[in-house]
């Protein structure tokens, strides 16, 4: 019996295609998938749900969200008898919200006494403030379960990673093309991979991909929309700024992360605008910014038409917004963001 974990791959299952098709997943008692690569965490959750449904049918899967299911509720679910036949699956999302003390008090004992033929999988989409509790790690380890971290690559490592992913798709992506792709679609690895897959479909096996192909073909993602939002703010186009922000939110972009991204973009443009204001040449003004020459040219174009004083006032308001987006306001993040955008783009 092949042990495939949550995502059956060539490494996890037998090497031959026939063996992979015939292999039956051997599910462990517990899994903890965590990390800052939220797209990958969600993908692995979907993979497990699909495998579990194939194994036990829809009736054998119970899904919980930690936003409304605390450790005590999950412990109660584990102790509840069911009439399903075969393996039972519990999939729990959002465990980064749990408190250490609650996991220790309510869940650790329930996991240790978990019935046989039960698989429980915990998923935590982490960031700097919210992490899966250490006691949850320990409890999964005690069951002999699998713990996997889905980390986000550092920005400097993304071009090499993108080139490697392109090679796996039978594309030749050059360094400038990789930087352009990252500047255009952002730092999320899942989004970069999706764009590479689209490029592979459009240009075919063996194609060489550079800046021109990326600029022509890559989708207008949230990263481009953030630039559009900054464009509108700098141009004091309030209507476009508000509409662009709402479009980003309609794409399910996280409001807090979006606030941070807007602050970063405006600060970058301000830095270049101040360098130009101080007499530094255009060829040197954009030096030192991440994303390579492609991104630097975009920022330089914004800075040329910017009013440095307006950007200074905007960065002060946006800095306050960033703090409020981290829980420093009684209002929701969208309300705060729209108020600030309307004010600085007026």
Distance CA 339, CA 287 (A): 33
Instruction: Look at 147-156, 316-325, 327-336 and tell me which has the smallest mean pLDDT.
Output: 327-336
On the question of pLDDT at 100 being above 90, the answer is yes
Same domain, 40 and 100: yes
Distance CA 199, CA 174 (A): 13
**Among candidate residues 250, 249, 262, the one with its CA nearest the CA of residue 322:** 262
Same domain, 52 and 105: yes
Residues 6+ apart with CB under 8 A from 294: 176, 179, 180, 183, 184, 211
Q: From 93, 119, 149, give the residue that closes a domain.
A: 149
Domain assignment present for 179: yes
Distance CA 212, CA 199 (A): 12
Same domain, 228 and 208: no
CA dihedral sign, ordered 334, 339, 343, 346: positive
Domain assignment present for 12: no
Same domain, 33 and 142: yes
What percent of the chain is predicted at pLDDT more than 70? 83
**Among candidate residues 337, 317, 332, the one with its CA nearest the CA of residue 259:** 337
Domain assignment present for 322: yes
**Tally of domains within the chain:** 3
On the question of pLDDT at 329 being above 90, the answer is no
On the question of pLDDT at 1 being above 50, the answer is no
* Residue range 309-337: mean pLDDT, rounded: 76
Predicted confidence at residue 83, as pLDDT, reads 61
Predicted confidence at residue 292, as pLDDT, reads 54
Distance CA 68, CA 7 (A): 27
Same domain, 182 and 285: no
Domain assignment present for 11: no
Predicted confidence at residue 225, as pLDDT, reads 67
Domain assignment present for 232: yes
Domain assignment present for 5: no
Domain assignment present for 118: yes
Same domain, 166 and 104: no
Q: Are strands 146-149 and 30-35 parallel, antiparallel or unpaired?
A: parallel
Look up the CATH number of the domain holding residue 84.
Answer: 3.40.50.300
Same domain, 23 and 93: yes
pTM for this one? 0.48
Same domain, 172 and 139: no
Report pLDDT digits (tens) over 240-271.
888 888 887 776 677 777 777 777 778 888 88
Domain assignment present for 180: yes
* Residue range 156-162: mean pLDDT, rounded: 90
Distance CA 342, CA 346 (A): 6
Q: From 89, 124, 149, give the residue that closes a domain.
A: 149
Predicted confidence at residue 184, as pLDDT, reads 77
Q: In this structure, are residues 13 and 54 in contact, taking their beta carbons and an 8 Å threshold? A: no
What percent of the chain is predicted at pLDDT more than 90? 25
Report pLDDT digits (tens) over 9-52.
434 444 433 333 334 458 899 999 999 888 788 888 988 888 88
Same domain, 228 and 168: no
Same domain, 231 and 283: yes
Return the bridge partners of 208, or none: 172
Same domain, 164 and 260: no
Distance CA 64, CA 53 (A): 15
User: Tokens 């792709």 appear where?
Assistant: 181
Q: In this structure, are residues 106 and 77 in contact, taking their beta carbons and an 8 Å threshold? A: no
Report pLDDT digits (tens) over 203-248.
888 889 998 788 766 654 555 667 777 778 777 888 888 888 888 7
* Residue range 198-202: mean pLDDT, rounded: 83
Same domain, 162 and 191: yes
Q: From 195, 217, 239, give the residue that closes a domain.
A: 217
Look up the CATH number of the domain holding residue 240.
Answer: 1.20.272.10
* CB-side neighbour CA atoms (13 Å) of 272: 25
Distance CA 193, CA 129 (A): 27
Domain that holds residue 291: 222-344
**What six digits make up the tokens of 155?**
């920005």
**What six digits make up the tokens of 211?**
């800046």
* CB-side neighbour CA atoms (13 Å) of 23: 22
Q: How many CB atoms lie within 10 A of CB 170?
A: 11
Look up the CATH number of the domain holding residue 161.
Answer: 1.10.8.60
């Amino acid at each position: 019996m092949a042990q495939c974990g949550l995502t059956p791959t060539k490494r996890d299952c037998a090497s031959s295609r026939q063996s992979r098709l015939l292999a039956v997943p051997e599910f462990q008692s517990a899994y903890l998938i965590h990390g800052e690569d939220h797209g990958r965490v969600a993908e692995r959750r979907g993979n497990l749900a699909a495998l579990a449904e194939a194994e036990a049918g829809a009736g054998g899967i119970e899904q919980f969200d930690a936003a409304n299911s605390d450790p005590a509720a999950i412990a109660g679910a584990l102790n509840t008898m069911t009439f399903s036949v075969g393996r039972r699956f519990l999939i729990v999302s959002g465990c980064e919200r749990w408190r250490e003390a609650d996991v220790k008090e309510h869940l650790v004992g329930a996991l240790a006494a978990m019935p046989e033929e039960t698989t429980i999988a915990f998923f935590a989409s982490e960031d700097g403030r919210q992490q899966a509790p250490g006691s949850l790690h320990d409890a999964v380890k005690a069951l002999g379960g699998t713990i996997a971290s889905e980390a986000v690559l550092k920005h400097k490592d993304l071009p090499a990673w993108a080139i490697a992913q392109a090679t796996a798709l039978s594309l030749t992506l050059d360094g400038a093309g990789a930087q352009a792709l990252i500047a255009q679609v952002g730092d999320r690895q899942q989004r970069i991979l999706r764009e590479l897959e689209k490029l592979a479909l459009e240009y075919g096996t063996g194609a060489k991909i550079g800046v021109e192909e990326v600029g022509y073909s890559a989708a207008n993602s949230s990263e481009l929309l953030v630039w559009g939002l900054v464009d509108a703010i700098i141009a004091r186009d309030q209507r476009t700024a508000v509409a662009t922000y709402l479009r980003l939110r309609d794409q399910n972009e996280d409001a807090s992360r979006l606030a941070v991204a807007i602050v970063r973009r405006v600060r970058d443009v301000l830095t270049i605008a101040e360098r130009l204001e101080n007499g530094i040449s255009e060829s040197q003004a954009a030096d030192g910014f991440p994303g390579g020459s492609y991104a630097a040219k975009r920022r330089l174009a914004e800075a040329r038409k910017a009013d440095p004083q307006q950007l200074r006032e905007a960065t002060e308001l946006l800095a306050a917004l960033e703090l409020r987006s981290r829980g420093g306001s009684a209002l929701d993040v969208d309300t705060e963001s729209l108020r600030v955008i309307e004010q600085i783009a007026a």
